Amino acid sequence: MNDVVEDLDVHDEDGALNAEFVRAVSAALVADNQREARKLTRELHAADLADLIEQLRRTERVDLIDKLGRTFDIESLPELEESVRDELMEDLPNPVIASAVRKLDSDDALYLIEDMEASDQEEILAKVPRADRVALKRALDYPENTAGRLMQTEFVAVPEFWTVGQTIDYMRTEDDLPDDFWEIYIIDPYFHTVGFASLSQVLRTARVTPISKIAEEHQVVFKVNDEQDDVAYKFEQYNLVSAAVVDEDDRLVGSLTIDDIVDVIQEEAEEDILRLGGVGDEEITDTVWSTTRSRFAWLVVNLGTAVLASWVISLFDATISQMVALAVLMPIVASMGGNAGTQTLTVAVRALATRDLGPVNAARVVIRETIVGLINGVVFAVIMGLFAWWWFGSDGLGAVIGVAMIINLIAAALAGILVPLTLDYFEIDPAIASSVFVTTVTDVVGFFAFLGLAAVWLL
């Protein structure tokens, strides 16, 4: 067993945790082999340890933390997905959570306790130092998904009258500083930030130089109530590494760092993809019940749109009964429209999320998508027209499906761009409802155009 463990690769060729490695850890836990569990996990990075915890069964997660004891890397806890974090916070004793909170940066500590019951939060906070307790309680008062929740309250700030030498000495002797930082904030007597100095600039400047001499103006300063998607956008737009956060009175209260914002950017991108698929904020580790519940609502909405499309078909039941070929070809028109609409919709929703699409260029993009829909419609109209003529020996049927194809692909292009733009204008997340509306448009227009033209031209 030990020889096998020594030769066991932690990661597979794609960089994910090796399935054999996960099974080996699970076997060590089942066998109550603390020594083996520690040997297997001692070299794991915090992010990999978090992945391991997520892949273990719920009963094994606490067992692993218990067996690792003091060797457990608490930095892995903030890396956990929310659903796993919530389960683990329920299963771990509050004193254990309090111990982790005391050792973590404020933003990571807040992530662990923000969704816990108020009574549990109070019990945990009572076991942490007063300064940390006050900072965490204040952060909990800020709305979710804001800069106040994302920021860490540990930062480096010095008076504007200090010299570079005093600043360096302060950083060397002060214990209560963040583990990692890139900027030193320069403040006035009222704790208003008047600028910042990069750590590299401080280290390259003579000690006698006043810190204010090398101060730079802030490119961006965030308010505690700024939405996290706005924060993520500005970090990406201006290539920020860190940024100051101020309260309602413009007093410096925290700092945002790129490592936290990268997580937000990834979450926003994942959220758009999931909502386009009608699955909300679902995670792979969610339970059967929560997964079913998150998907059910949009399946009901899709059922309603499918019934509407079927009702349109029912208006032409006499036409279909006289020419069975219509029933054979009808799904092609709707399917092509649906795929074309989804293509445009995906690009539009992502462009809105990254703010590359807005009032300035909306008209130009709508025109572009209309032309693209027309070109694709004509090309596929020729292909399907010839195919229908060859299959059923009717040039009239070929013309009908060709014209219907052009109409539906233009409608799909317009719906794919106009629906998300309209929802965004009314401050409704376009990723949530766009796909349902676009599918409805392409189905209804496709069926109505194809069957309507057939009723007029062929019968």
CB 373 within 8 A of CB 442: no
What is the C-alpha separation between 43 and 25, in angstroms, rounded?
13
Q: How far is CA 268 from CA 198, 214, 290, in A?
A: 29, 36, 20
CB 451 within 8 A of CB 326: yes
Q: How many CB atoms lie within 10 A of CB 186?
A: 25
The helix, strand and coil proportions of the chain, stated in percent and rounded to the nearest 5, come to 65, 10, 25
| Partners of 210 in the β-ladder | 163
Predicted confidence band at 280 (pLDDT cuts at 50, 70, 90)? low
For 186, the enclosing helix (H) or strand (E) is strand 183-187
**pLDDT tens, 113-155?**
999 999 999 999 999 999 899 999 999 999 999 999 999 999 9
What is the C-alpha separation between 124 and 105, in angstroms, rounded?
15
CB 197 within 8 A of CB 244: no
Which regions of 68-152 does DSSP assign to beta strands (E)? none
Predicted confidence band at 7 (pLDDT cuts at 50, 70, 90)? low
**CB-facing half-sphere around the CA of 380: CA atoms within 13 A:** 22
Q: Which long-range contacts (CB under 8 A, 24 or more apart) does 348-353 make?
A: 348/416, 348/417, 348/420, 348/421, 348/430, 348/434, 349/272, 349/276, 349/420, 349/430, 349/431, 349/434, 350/272, 352/420, 352/421, 352/424, 352/430, 353/229, 353/268, 353/269, 353/272, 353/431
Percent of the chain with pLDDT over 90: 76
Report the CATH superfamily, name and number, of domain 2-147.
MgtE N-terminal domain-like (1.25.60.10)
Sheet with 183-187, edge to edge strand ranges = 157-159, 183-187, 193-198
Predicted confidence band at 239 (pLDDT cuts at 50, 70, 90)? very high
| CA 325 to mean position of chain CA atoms | 45
**R_g (Cα) of the chain, nearest Å:** 29
* Whether pLDDT at 4 is above 50: no
Hey, where are the domains in the chain? Answer: 2-147, 157-276, 288-457
What is the CATH number assigned to the segment(s) 157-276?
3.10.580.10
**pLDDT tens, 285-338?**
677 888 788 778 878 888 898 899 999 999 999 889 888 899 999 999 999 999
**pLDDT tens, 292-302?**
887 788 788 88
Position 52 scores a pLDDT of 96
Predicted confidence band at 430 (pLDDT cuts at 50, 70, 90)? confident
**pLDDT tens, 388-426?**
999 999 999 999 999 999 999 999 999 999 999 999 999
What is the C-alpha separation between 152 and 256, in angstroms, rounded?
6
Q: How far is CA 294 from CA 271, 277, 289, 300, 409, in A?
A: 13, 11, 9, 11, 31
372-389 burial string, b = 16+ CB within 10 Å, else e? Answer: bbeebbeebbeebbebbb
**pLDDT tens, 170-225?**
999 998 888 889 999 999 999 999 999 999 999 999 999 999 999 999 989 999 99
CB 71 within 8 A of CB 38: yes
Taking each helix axis from N to C end, the angle separating 324-353 and 362-392, rounded to the nearest 10 degrees, works out to 160
CB 178 within 8 A of CB 149: no
Predicted confidence band at 240 (pLDDT cuts at 50, 70, 90)? very high
Q: Which two three-digit tokens encode residue 56?
A: 């273990």
- For the domain made up of 288-457, give the CATH fold: Tetracycline Repressor; domain 2 (1.10.357)
* Whether pLDDT at 111 is above 80: yes
> Of the given ranges (6-10, 61-65, 141-145, 391-395), which has the lowest mean pLDDT?
6-10
More confident residue, 273 or 84: 84
Percent of the chain with pLDDT over 70: 97
pTM: 0.79
Position 6 scores a pLDDT of 53
* Whether pLDDT at 436 is above 90: no
How do strand 221-223 and strand 242-246 relate by DSSP bridges? Answer: parallel
CB 419 within 8 A of CB 438: yes
| Partners of 242 in the β-ladder | 257
